[in-house]
Amino acid sequence: MAAKTQDYTAMMKDMMGAFPVDQKAMESMFKSQTAFAEKMSAVAIDAAQQSTDLSARWTQDTLTKMSAITQARTEPADYAKAMTDFATASAESAAEHMAAFADIAKKVQTETLELMMAMGKDMSTDMQDVARKATSDMTSAAKKASAK
């Protein structure tokens, strides 16, 4: 005769029912998490847009400077001068654009840190509220149990 298979779904339901969950606290935590994710996404998207714009400007600047190289010259030395001028301008442009990329990264880092600090503060407050409620509930339950 085969043994009856245990109903694990019912067992899990009973087990989870034994641990009361404050739905309001869960809802509050969910809202906090989604708000945090929205803000972090906004920071990332803004940084991506700024980086893309900067890359496009850098490309446009480079292409504009390259047009000077492609012009026909009468003297061979003029080609060397045009190439030297292009190399100098490209090096200066690279330094400027890399500094702009660093500014974008610094802004992202600062905004991320501010969001993380705010989230930590919110979570700490939420945890304190949950701990107070749990302590109150446990004290109340203990008083009821000792009164019997």
Summarised one tens digit per residue, pLDDT across range 108-138 is 999 999 999 988 887 787 778 777 877 887 7
Record the pTM: 0.66
Residue 1 has pLDDT above 60, yes or no: no
Would you give the end-to-end CA distance of the chain in angstroms? 46
User: In Å, how far are 38, 66, 89 from 75, measured between CA atoms?
Assistant: 60, 19, 21
In this prediction, residue 3 carries a pLDDT of 67
Q: Which residues contact 129 (CB under 8 A, 6 or more apart)?
A: 25
- Where are the chain's structural domains? 49-115
Instruction: Give the pLDDT of residue 24.
Output: 76
Residue 2 pLDDT level (bands cut at 50, 70, 90): low
